[in-house]
Amino acid sequence: MAIVERIDTICLKVADIEQSSRWYQNVLGFKEAFRGEDHCILNIGDSAVPLTIEKDKEQAGEPRQSQVYPIFYTKDIEKTCRQLQKQEVKTGEIQYDGVNKFVDFFDLDGNRLQACFWE
């Protein structure tokens, strides 16, 4: 038996809550579910796991080089990549590991995000 039941949320540190919330809503289509003083919870489509963006008080404005990053599933990786690039989001190249196609992209604070597709 596991001592935890599920992932409750994924949390990323950002320099500006308001600006980052708008970015995630406008670029990725997330919906703001809750706003606190120093954090915001965003719903991701029909996923049960939301994204929490939290004010980074120690490194505000510095690029984030976290080893932890969320991976978002998409049904059309090529279309997703084009849409991100159209909105001037920094992206890597679409990669294929033999099972998954995936692309890294970055939010306003340099947080690494990834979109993937698999059958």
Residue 52 has which token pair?
């929490």
DSSP string, 46-90: T-SS-EEEEE-SSSTTSPP--S---EEE-S-HHHHHHHHHHTT--
DSSP 26: H
| Nearest alpha-carbon partner for 54 in 109, 4, 103, 92 | 109
Q: Is the pTM of this model over 0.85?
A: no
Q: 53: domain CATH number?
A: 3.10.180.10
Residue type, 111: N
Q: Tens place of pLDDT for every residue, the chain, 119 residues?
A: 775 677 889 989 899 999 999 999 999 999 999 998 889 999 999 999 999 999 987 655 555 555 678 989 999 999 999 999 999 999 999 999 888 899 999 999 999 999 999 88
Number of domains in the chain: 1
| pLDDT of res. 8 | 84
Domain enclosing residue 41, as ranges: 10-57+64-117
